[in-house]
Structure 1
Amino acid sequence: MPHPIVFDTQPGMTKPIRIAVLGASGYTGADLVRLALTHPNIEIAALSANSKAGLTMAEIWPHFAPYPGLPRLITSEAVDYASIDAVFGCLPHAASASLLSTLAGPKIIDLSADFRLKDSATYADWYGGAHPAPALLPGAIYGLTEYARDSLPGAALVACPGCYPTAVLLALLPLMAANAIGPDRITINAISGVSGSGRSLKEANLFPEIAEAVAPYAVGRHRHMPEMEQELSAAANQPVILSFTPHLVPMNRGELVTCIVETTRPVADLRAILQARYAAEPFVHLLPEGTPPATRMVRGSNHAVLNVFADRVPGRAIVIAAIDNLVKGSSGQAIQNFNLMFGLPETTGLQAAPLFP
């Protein structure tokens, strides 16, 4: 039987941290495995995919062929959780909370939507059913790493933000907290690569449907809207309601959000606020003045790039951010949170530069 993949640990670590990845057959789970493979403190001890149980990762993901030591896929119920230090939940909403709420012992980093919203009634409204584990919501840390850093060490349950909220909140939270933008009339147009809609077969995702085309979806009611409003409202100390329209574009990965906001201060002040907030951040970067963010700047990496521009309409600004939806918008941010939960430098395993071209 192949041995689990494990690399030499960093100095000071006595043994590797054993992880399980639930839902390893999806895009998010597979990208998490890809990143975990070169993390110096991780041992990939278990991989689950109920519909693919019994297969190897290479049998469903050919790019893992050079790694025959990866554990064979099993059902999530078959994982020996008593031997696991951390569980990455890459399962669909509802299914994730139903399973993870039964675990005791491992730290949980959940990449589904199940623990992001603090209000179970809001969850029921947007996700079409009662929350499977409402008692866990108050204790879940909302894992936008740059804003949750002080709460992550020792945390037991971390909810990783959605990909769109990650980009939007990195762009707007500092400005909202500084009262540099108003809480009303925020309009966000976003684009995402097709991987953002998951790996399950969908007619709308077939090549003839998406090639040479751009299409909006979930118009007026995308499930990430209450998540963005929750965090922006907390920063503003008053309710924030925004308009958000996502679009699917014919690329594999990448995400860009264009946020049109009402300003209370000059655009130069907005830029100074963003510069001061992110100057010391390893993964969030304000671009030179006048340079628009692009998905090619961050592809395959845990980096985010952003910038702010004056609108031709007085009293309005345009804030743009780009991330890789599968890395900073999902699995990379999950590992960034994992690092801080276990007392590791948060950049560990995430130092890869963006892939270009």
Structure 2
Amino acid sequence: MHPETLAIYQSRMADANAGAVVPPISLSTTFEREADGSFPHGHIYSRSSNPNRDLLETALAQLEGGFAGLAFSSGQAATMTLLLALRPGDHVILGDDAYHGTPALLEELFHPWGLTYTRVDFTDLEAIRSSIHENTSLIWIETPSNPLLKIADIQAIADLAHNAGAWCACDNTWATPILQRPLDLGCDVVMHSTTKYIGGHSDVLSGALIFREDGDFYQRVRRYQTLGGAVAAPFDCWMLLRGTKTLTTRVKAQSATAMQLAQFLHEHPAVEAVHYPGLESHPGHAIAQKQMTRFGAMLSVQIKGGSDAAMAVAGRVQLFTRATSLGGIESLIEHRASVEGPNTTTPQNLLRISVGLEHADDLITDLEQALNALT
């Protein structure tokens, strides 16, 4: 089935009580045994499984083309649980441009625990190859990257990982399974901050891992999901399932608008650089064309005049909301370096934009008036 159909079909559940079309929310934390001690519906305790979580995990696995999904209380909880399934002494390779919470986890939590890691430019395959050690167990891809939208060649990097006997994971939050399917390109695991596009309305915090196939690594992570207990709540799963039903329509519309904004910003005299893989001038454009169906709804723009000019533009917009996050129906803008803190490597004149569902002309007019005030 096509993604549009899968998103609807996989979120259905037969309701024996009332025949409800929309799956009911199952808030029960525990489930009744039969007289012989068996569990006829497969559920024992909600930390282990829940009807709403089962539905969500199945739907996400179907959308990504994977064997199974695991839903967590946040994207960070999903990433942390995956890293916990590695061993002290293992080595991880991560891109030099990535969501700042991922290297923070590695540095503050897992490095003292015994993991080592190397950050390299993921647009340089030779740099990745030369960073692989005998103890490299995981290569973590993020493409498009946050916040510079660098494009990594998923298939080529997955091949490097597998040739070295390592796992390959991809943070697919920005692309979503509608635009990019890393499991089809050789990745073993996909991570989503489902808070973002899959939820789609900035009102639910959650994360997910989707595995390409069964095996020891998957079983270990699944066991840690239950032991650690950082699982998605039933109501959150219900909200996320609702989000999957409109995911395709939302992401296609947002991506089309983002392209128009990128083209406008690329031509504006107050703009130093636009980072958007849909532009032919983007260094990763050809690879993005190969592995993405569209170029996404995220873009970053560097403003001439430094940090003060960037903050001034963010302060003048009227339709964009100045807020951290992305993937919702409302357009957001933020000065990313100030969010990431004193150790950031993000350019001080960079604004990160998450494009929502407003009309493109209105968003362009808003950006134009904010930028024109600089000139």
Same structural fold, with TM-score higher than 0.5 when normalized by the shorter chain = no
Q: Which has the higher strand share?
A: 1
Question: When the two structures are superposed, what TM-score results if normalisation uses the length of structure 2?
Answer: 0.31
Q: Which has the higher helix share?
A: 2
Question: When the two structures are superposed, what TM-score results if normalisation uses the length of structure 1?
Answer: 0.32
